[in-house]
Amino acid sequence: MTELSVKPGKKSFFPYRIGLEPRMAQVSSWLPASLSLGAVVVALMIGALILALGGGNPWATYAHIARASFGSLGVLSDTLVKATPLIFIGLACSLAFRMRMWNIGAEGQFYMGAFGASAIVLLPVLPAEAPRWQFLILMAISGMFFGAIWGSLPGLLKAKFNVNEVISTLMLNYIAIAFCNFFIFNVWSEGGFQMSPKFPKNSWLPRLTDYASTVPEFAGLTTHAGFILAVLAAVVVWFILHRSKWGYEIRLVGDNKRAAEYAGIRISRNIVFVMMLSGALAGLAGMSEISGVVHRFQGAISPGYGFTGIIVAWLAKLNPYAVIPVSILFGALILAGREIQPSGIPKMIQGIILVCLIASDFFLRYRVRIRKQVEA
Amino acid sequence: MSKKVLFGLLTMMLVFALILVGCGEQDTPQAEEEAAAEEAPAEESVAGGFMIPEVVDGKFNIAMVLIGPHDDGGWSQAHYEGLMYVAENMDNVNTAYVELVPEGADSEQVTRSLARKGFDLIFTTSFGYMDATETVAEEFPDQMFIHVSGYKSNGSNFGNLMGAMEDMKYLAGVIAGARAHQDGQTKMGYMATFPIPEELRLGNAFALGMKEFCPECTMDVRWINTWHDPVIEKEAAASLFDSGAYVVFTGADTPAPADVATERGDVYGITYDWSGSCTAERCLTAPYWNWGSVYLQIAEGTRDGTYTAGWHYFDADSGGLGLYGFMEGQELTPGMQDLDPEVIAYVEETLAQMLAGEFDRFDVFAGPIMDNQGNIVVPEGEKMVQADLDQFPPGAEGLECTYCMYWWADGVTAELPE
C-alpha cells in the first residue's frame, strides 16, 4: 500500500488521511466510462471558472456551445462531418496502440491517403465522365494504398532495425505534408493558387444535401457517406481485434510481447501488417475528407485530425465501438471551438478536458481510501 | 482543535462555492440567451473578455471570417478594425467575427454556420475562402456574402472585393529606392507569400516605384509560402538582410521586416496591411488597408438594397488605402525625414492624384514596362486591364488576359515561380 499524501510516521494536518492502493482486481466495466464522464464534467467546471473570470456567463456559454454542436439538424450534420475523419483515425490508432505500436503518424498517413485519392482524379487515372462508383472505389483503394505505404515504412524500420516508431512516424508526418505541398504548389496548382482544380461531381462521396431535391430538409446538410463507411470500419476493426486469430495475436503481442514470442507469433510480420492496416485506415480518412468534404486537393485539409485521433483512441480505451461516440464528442468540441471568440478560450477548455481525462486514468489504476485519523 | 476549525472553514468555502455555482444555473435559458447576446458586443472592449458570434433580432447583423488572429498586427487586424469602424459608424448594427479559420473545408462550415444563424452580411477575408463562400451564398440567397481578394461573384448575393494595393506598393517602392540611392545602397528584398498573381503584381509595382529614383537598384525575392507565420517571416527578413538587402518589404501579415531591421540597426523594413504596424524605429513606411469606409459603404448599401454584389475593386480614391507617414494626422517616419525633398514632393503629389482619382492602378502598370529579361511587357502608350493584373496566362474562364501577370519587372533578381 502506498501513502502519497502523508509522510510516514508524521501526523497529518487534516483529520482524515488519504491513502492510495493499486487496483489489483479487474475493474468493473462501468468504471472507465463513468470516470471519463466525470473527468469531462470536472473539466467543464474548471472551464466555467475561467469563463467567469474572463467576464462572461459560463452557463449561457455552455448552453450556446451545446446548441451550436447538437442543437439543430444543421449543426448536428456539421458535427458528424468533423467526427468522420476522427473515427477513421481513432480506429487506426486503436489498432496500432493495441499492439503497443505507437503510431503518431496518422496525420501523415491521412495526407498520403488524400494524395492517393486525388491522384485518381488529377493524374487522371479515370476520365472525368467515369461513373461515380468507379471513382469512389478507385479513390478509396488508392487512398488506403498510399496510407498503407506510409504506415509500412516505420513498420518495416521497426521490424528490421528496431527503429523507434514514435520518432519515425512523427517525422514522416512532415515529409508527407511536404510531399503533398509539392503537388499542390507545382503539379496540380490551378492558376498559381495553392489548390488543385475542383473535382468533377461524380468523384464526390454522396452527401445529404445532394438529395435536397427529393427531401427538402436535407438542404445544406453536408454529412457524407464517409460517415457510414467509418461506422462500418469500426465494426470491421472490432471483428479483426476480437474475433479473428490475427486480432488475438495483436492483443497478445500488446499484452506480453515475450509470451507472444514464445507462443511462436511472428512479431516482425505483425508489426508491418498492423502498421499497414493502421496507415490504410488513416489514408481512408484522407480519401473520405477529400472526396466527401474538400472536393479538391489542397493544403490545410486537416486541423490536426491525425493528432486528435490519438486522443480519441486513448479516450475510447482502444475500443473500436467507443471510438464512434468519442469522435462525435470531439467533432462537437472542434465545432464549439468556433463559438467563443477570440479563439484562445475554447482551445484552453479542450486542453483542460484532455488533461482531466489523462488524470482520470490514475483512478483506474489506483483506489483512493479515505480514513479517519486517530486523534492523539 | 484548530485543525477542526480549519477543516470546517474549508467545508464552508466549498459549500459557498457550490451555492454560487447553483445560483448561476437558476437563470432561465431564455434570459441567458438574451443576456449572452446583449453582452457579446459590450464585452468586446473589455480586456480578457470574449464574444459569442450570434445574431441580435431587429439589428443589421454583420459577421466576419478571419484567417489570422483579430489582433495580428497586420491583415486580419486591419479587417477587424474595419468591422469595428462599421459597428461605431452605423446605427442599429450588431457585429461578430470568427478568427483563425483555415482555408478550405473549415471555412465553408464556419461560413455556413454564420449564415444559418442569420447574419445579414458576411465578409470572408482570405483568398482560400472563395469557393466556400460561393457554395454557401448559393444556399442562402437572401443574405449577402462578400469575399475579399478573390476573383469570383454570382452577380446577386456573392460579391468580390479587393483594393488596388499596387498603388501604395508603388509609392513604397519609390521611397525605398530613394532611401537606398541616397545611402549608396542598391539592394531591396521582397518577402513574397505564395506564387500567385497578386504577389507578383505587388512586387512588380514596388519594383517599378523603386526604379523612379534608383535606376541602379535591384530586388531579391524570397517565397515564404505563408500569410501568417511570425517565425518564418522573421527568418525570411533576416535572410534577405544577410544577403545584402537594404530595405525589405513583405506580402505577409506581421511587422517582421521592421522588427528585424530595428534589431540590425543599419537597414530598413517596410511593413504591410495595418496602419498601426509601422512603429518600430527602422520602419520606413507601411502601405496599409483602411477597410472601414469601404465596409461601411457595403453594409449600408446592403441594408438599403442598393449594393449590387459583383467585382468591387477600389482604388485609393475610395479612402480604402493608405501609406503610412503621408495620411492625415501622420508624420514622416525617422527614415523618411532626411530624404531628398524632391522625393517627398513626388510621393505627396502622386498620392494626392491617387486620392483624387486621377492616378490609379492602370497608371502604375502603364507602358512602357520592361521585364528583367529585357523584353517589353507593355509597350509605350498601352495599359494593362484588370484581367492582366490578377491572372496568370491564359487567365481563368471569362477572365482571359493579354499581357497577364507572369513576369518580373526590370531589376528583379529572381526567377519566376513555376
Say yes or no: B100 contacts chain A, CB-CB below 8 A: yes
* CB half-sphere exposure, A155, CA atoms < 13 A: 24
Task: Give tens-digit pLDDT for B52-91.
Answer: 888 999 999 999 999 988 888 889 999 999 999 999 999 9
Q: Name the pLDDT band for A357 (thresholds 50, 70, 90).
A: confident
DSSP string, B109-145: HHHHHHHHHT-SEEEE-SGGGHHHHHHHHHH-TTSEE
Cα(B223)–Cα(B236) distance, integer angstroms: 8
Residue B370, pLDDT above cutoff 80: yes
pLDDT score of B4: 55
Task: Give tens-digit pLDDT for B136-156.
Answer: 999 999 999 999 988 889 999
The answer to whether B282 and B269 are in contact (CB under 8 A) is: yes
According to DSSP, residue B327 is labeled S
The arithmetic mean of pLDDT across residues A66-77, rounded, is 88
Q: Name the pLDDT band for A7 (thresholds 50, 70, 90).
A: low
The arithmetic mean of pLDDT across residues B192-207, rounded, is 92
- Measured CA to CA in angstroms, residue B130 lies from A55, B76, B103, B105, B220 at distances of 35, 16, 9, 11, 30
Lowest mean pLDDT among A21-30, A93-102, B337-346: A21-30
Q: Name the pLDDT band for B47 (thresholds 50, 70, 90).
A: very low
**Crossing angle of helices A267-289 and A305-315, rounded to 10°:** 120
Q: Name the pLDDT band for A104 (thresholds 50, 70, 90).
A: very high
Q: Name the pLDDT band for A97 (thresholds 50, 70, 90).
A: very high
pLDDT score of B73: 85
Q: How many residues does chain A have?
A: 376
Q: Name the pLDDT band for B394 (thresholds 50, 70, 90).
A: confident
A57 contacts in chain B (CB < 8 Å): 24, 32, 35-36, 39
Cis amide linkage into residue B394, ω under 30° from 0: yes
Question: Smallest Cβ distance to A60: which of B36, B48, B128?
Answer: B36
Helix H or strand E encompassing B61: strand B60-65
Mean pLDDT score of chain A: 88
B395 contacts in chain A (CB < 8 Å): 191
Cα(B235)–Cα(B239) distance, integer angstroms: 6
The answer to whether B357 and B382 are in contact (CB under 8 A) is: no
Task: Give tens-digit pLDDT for A327-352.
Answer: 998 888 888 877 877 777 777 877 88
pLDDT score of A220: 81
For chain A, list the domains and their CATH numbers. Answer: 57-340 (1.10.3470)
pLDDT score of A12: 57
Cα(B13)–Cα(B52) distance, integer angstroms: 32
Residue B1, pLDDT above cutoff 50: no
Residue A121, pLDDT above cutoff 70: yes
Q: Which amino acid is at B283?
A: C
Task: Give tens-digit pLDDT for A154-212.
Answer: 999 999 999 999 999 999 999 999 999 999 988 898 766 678 888 999 999 999 988 88
**B93: helix, coil or strand?**
strand
Residue B43, pLDDT above cutoff 50: no
User: Which sequence spans correspond to the domains of chain B?
Assistant: 57-163+291-318, 165-288+325-390
pLDDT score of B11: 52
Residue B318, pLDDT above cutoff 70: yes
The arithmetic mean of pLDDT across residues B391-405, rounded, is 85
The verdict on pTM exceeding 0.90 is: no
pLDDT score of B25: 36
**B289: helix, coil or strand?**
strand
Say yes or no: A71 contacts chain B, CB-CB below 8 A: no
DSSP string, B220-265: EEEE---SS-HHHHHHHHHHHHHTT-SEEEESSSS-HHHHHHHHHS
Share above pLDDT 90 across residues of chain A, in percent, rounded to a whole number: 52
Residue B23, pLDDT above cutoff 60: no
Enumerate residues 6+ apart whose C-beta is below 8 A from B137.
B143, B145, B154, B157, B158
Residue B109, pLDDT above cutoff 50: yes
pLDDT score of A375: 56
Helix H or strand E encompassing A178: helix A165-182
Say yes or no: B141 contacts chain A, CB-CB below 8 A: no
The answer to whether A190 and B197 are in contact (CB under 8 A) is: no
The answer to whether B199 and B222 are in contact (CB under 8 A) is: no
CB contact under 8 A, A342 and B104: no
Lowest mean pLDDT among A169-183, A267-281, B176-190, B398-412: B398-412
Fold of B57-163+291-318: Rossmann fold (3.40.50)
The answer to whether A353 and A40 are in contact (CB under 8 A) is: yes
The CATH homologous superfamily for domain B165-288+325-390 is Response regulator (3.40.50.2300)
Say yes or no: B225 contacts chain A, CB-CB below 8 A: yes
Say yes or no: B68 contacts chain A, CB-CB below 8 A: no
A63 contacts in chain B (CB < 8 Å): 29, 32-33
Strand partners for B313? B162
Q: Which three cell numbers stand for residue A138?
A: 478507385
Same fold yes or no, B57-163+291-318 and B165-288+325-390? yes
pLDDT score of B2: 52
